[in-house]
Amino acid sequence: MPEELEEGFWREIQAYEEVRHMPYMTSVERIGIRKGIEQGRQEGIQQGKSLVLRRQLARRFGVLPLWVEERLARADRESLERWAERVLEAATLEEIFEGS
């Protein structure tokens, strides 16, 4: 769209928003918001998994060493899930994290 038409278009949108008290949102903005919400949701799920695993490990093995805290802090979803399964049968912290 030519620049002068685009400027006019946005002025009209802004005027419409003010009259209707309804902000205009483009489809691109809506898609961006949805993606942001989904990304935040996924990050929240991962943080929750990490927190639960950290609590399980601490309950089973006591105070966690720094190397375990560091592994948990940078773990991806698959690693957290794999370690959470291992916590049920592993005899040591090293067994939980070996090969990962």
Q: What is the pTM of this model?
A: 0.65
The crossing angle, in degrees rounded to 10, of helices 77-86 and 27-61 is 30
Burial state string for 38-75 with b = 16 or more CB within 10 A and e = fewer than 16: eeeeeeeeeeebbeebbeebeeebeeeeeebeebbeeb
Residue 73 in tokens = 């802090």
- Per domain, the residue ranges of the chain are 3-97
pLDDT digits (tens, 9 = 90+) for 19-75: 766 666 677 777 888 888 888 888 888 899 999 999 999 999 999 999 999 999 999
Is 76's pLDDT higher than 90? yes
